[in-house]
A and B are shown apart, each in its own frame.
Chain A
Amino acid sequence: QSALTQPPSVSGSPGQSVTISCTGTSSDVGGYNYVSWYQQHPGKAPKVIIYDVSKRPSGVPDRFSGSKSGNTASLTISGLQAEDDADYHCCSYAGSYTWVFGGGTKLTVL
């Protein structure tokens, strides 16, 4: 049950694209297509923005996209907007009805 590895911070200017990586192992990210991503603004509850690696819940803009290669999943945000300034957390199913999260990445929109 070791945490997934995310970069502590990323940044980008409005209109640009950024990608946040999430590295695990073959026992979690690499073993299941059950990676989800959560956006969290300061003092607020997390909100799911990507699930099953690349699916978007209704209401989430298509500027948010997810992918996976091997043991690493990625979240890409294109056309950055000021309201995207938030923390982003990846999460993977790890088998036996357990989950593991990443350490979180702070996205700064410059």
Chain B
Amino acid sequence: EVQLVESGGGLVQSGGSLRLSCVVSGFTFSDYWMSWVRQAPGKGLEWVANIKQAGTEKNYLDSVKDRFTISRDNAKSSLYLQINSLRVEDTAVYYCARVNWPRFDSWGRGTLVTVSS
């Protein structure tokens, strides 16, 4: 069974940092692109970043490009998102998603990031 489990969210002040993690099981992690998608309270989904299988290519939403860093450790079947200079508008549930090109075919349950001013 494919499973993705996010962690690392929490309450942080504006300007702070967080590192989100996603541990996967049930599939060969190194075979897939992976993405982070977020959802602000009461809003739609928003694609944030993705990373190629070997980590050699990374792409970002323009508004997070200089503050977020996506990475992966294939040996640990883990995906990460380093979030710096947090803003109130970054408040959201952050989902880890597997990319089965070109769709997101498996999702975790998400981790909530709340940024206070």
Instruction: Name A's B-contacting residues (CB within 8 A).
Output: 1, 3, 6, 32, 34, 36, 38, 44-48, 51-52, 57, 89, 91, 93, 96-104
- Interface of chain A, main secondary structure: loop
- Set B47, B103, B110: member contacting A48, Cβ < 8 A: B103
Place the interface of chain B in its size category: 20 to 34
Quick check: which of B15-23, B24-32, B54-62, B79-87 contacts chain A, the rest being far away?
A: B54-62
Given A45-B107, A103-B43, 18 further pairs, Cβ under 8 A: A3-B44, A3-B46, A6-B44, A34-B102, A38-B45, A45-B95, A45-B108, A51-B105, A52-B102, A52-B103, A89-B44, A89-B45, A91-B104, A96-B59, A98-B47, A101-B37, A102-B44, A104-B43
The smallest beta-carbon distance between B30 and chain A, in angstroms, is: 18
